[in-house]
Structure 1
Amino acid sequence: MRKDAMIYAQKCDASQRHSNILHQPLERIHPTIEAEAFAQVREQKVISFIKQNILTRSESPAEIICDNGSQFIGKRTTDFCAAWGIKMITCIPVHPQANGQAESSNKIIVNNLKNNLGTKKGKWAKELSFVLWADQTTSKNATG
């Protein structure tokens, strides 16, 4: 979809002639965290999650960072992502930066859940969406 929009904007004579900037689709600068609580995660649930929580809420992401679980690297999931032009990055030694990002995101989620729940630790699945919303709506600055 991103490529189609760029090609369309580049072919539009009026846009290119009457504007001094190149029209391109908006790209996110900061990655977003998407998560949901499941008792068991199978490939079909991963595909449904991507459809419902990622593709329907924003443009197709260039990549998704996940762990090396079979539900993420299975044929159905990888074929689905390839069809949408999504690169699956797994947290293995080949991609140490991906592991750091995933671990940092997990740490933020876990700490915020602990702060919100206090002694009611068994209720984390109900609070997860609120913690994710708070993280996504909080402004962040790059460090380093």
Structure 2
Amino acid sequence: MASLRRRVRAIALQILFELDATDHSPDQVVARRLEEERLPPEGERFLRRLVFGAWEHASYLDRIIEETAPNWPVSQMPGVDKAILRIALFEALIDEEEKTPLKAIINEAVELAKQYGSDNSSRFVNGVLGTVVSRYRERRKG
């Protein structure tokens, strides 16, 4: 299951990157990618939840990113890093269905950044997510 989830996150990253760079319809892009990928039903559900969740909440997630990394405006951030952060933050802060452990979310995001991002992406993603998780935990305690 872990390898399926990693594969789905990678596909979600690619879809979100495309959506951010074009005016393509999320429904059409997801449908096209699902035809290409042939995921099992649980993978398809997970992909839809990640893509549509991160896309629908992009403005909110971008505000969190900008609050956490004010020297890196989201509008100037590499698209891969932005997509990875949106997916991870959606999973960590919004997705009520999966309840993926925060450590696993961060680890998966860092691995995606290593595979698809620039040389500094994994450190940047890890730093942003680590800071957000720390703040999130403090708010939940308070």
Give the TM-score normalised by the residue count of structure 1.
0.31
Determine which structure has more spread, i.e. the larger CA radius of gyration.
1
Give the TM-score normalised by the residue count of structure 2.
0.31
Query: Which has the larger helix fraction?
Result: 2
Query: Which has the larger strand fraction?
Result: 1
